[in-house]
Amino acid sequence: MRILVVEDEENVANFIRQGLAEEGYVVDTATDGELALDYAQTYTYDLILLDVLLPKIDGRDVARTLRRRGLSVPIIMLTALDTVDNRVEGLDSGADDYLVKPFAYRELLARIRARTRTHQGGSEPNELEIADLSLNRLTRQVKRGDQPVTLTAKEFSLLEYLMLHPGQVLSRTQLGEQVWGYDFFNQSNIVDVYVGYLRRKLDDGQEQPLIHTVRGVGYKIAAEE
């Protein structure tokens, strides 16, 4: 799952980013309201954490603009402004939830889980399956046949993205941006390396390999070549 963190205070942004990455989320950070709108327009996010007091464009205006553009991505506002008026204005601007700084990290994680859970009720299922491979996006369990497979956070994100697009050829750039965020600049063979890890864990010793290389293009996951 990919989250956009919009926060101008660098230490707060880094703290949130690091914690979420440890939980297996892919995190992009934007340091002002203008960048936030650019990123939200360019990439698809499962959730946006949005600070209210931001340079260039205020967080509430960012939320309003996103809603006006028809984006339904869940937004949790983060703010130091804890008055009833501020909370109401935040929610009225289009945010789904509101968290007052300083917040407990566990609470932030719980709210992210709650928001992404309701949102996913819409289009994308939580239980993904290809042949005898299954992945649960909520419990983060992966199984090939009845054998559980243990994946690292990045391996999980890569497999999740492949499984959300069964049979579709995905380029290294697409996969890189989805799994490593905009830090990914096609800089290395990191995608190939991680596809290699996944193959070792999922396909080695199996009669039916599921991850396929499409020469010159990228990779796909499918029951048949």
Residues near Ca ion (CB under 5 A) are 8, 51, 53
Nearest Cα residue to 96 out of 133, 135, 46, 136: 46
Distance in Å, CB of 61 to Ca ion, minimum? 14
Closest-by-Cβ residue to Ca ion is 53
Shortest spacing between CB 20 and Ca ion, in angstroms: 18
Q: What residue ranges in 121-188 does DSSP mark as E strands?
A: 127-130, 133-136, 142-144, 147-149, 170-171
Measured from the CB atom, the residue of 28 and 51 that comes closer to Ca ion is 51
CB 167 within 8 A of CB 222: yes
Task: Please tell me the distance from the alpha carbon of residue 215 to that of residue 144, in angstroms, as a whole number.
Answer: 25
Q: Report the Cα 58 to chain-centroid distance in Å.
A: 23
Distance in Å, CB of 146 to Ca ion, minimum: 49
Whole-number minimum distance, CB 8 to Ca ion, in Å?
A: 5
**Shorter beta-carbon distance to Ca ion: residue 32 or 129:** 32
Least distance (Å) between residue 7 CB and Ca ion? 6
Q: Which two tokens stand for residue 12?
A: 């707060």
**Least Å distance between CB 179 and Ca ion?**
28
- Comparison of 75 and 211: residue with beta carbon closer to Ca ion: 75
Kindly list the distances between the CA atom of residue 7 and the CA atoms of 23, 29, 52, in Å, as whole numbers in the listed order. 19, 7, 8
φ, ψ dihedrals at 161, nearest 5°:
-65, -40
Q: Which residue has the tokens 């995190």?
A: 27
* Whole-number Cα distances in Å, 92 to 49, 85, 97: 16, 10, 10
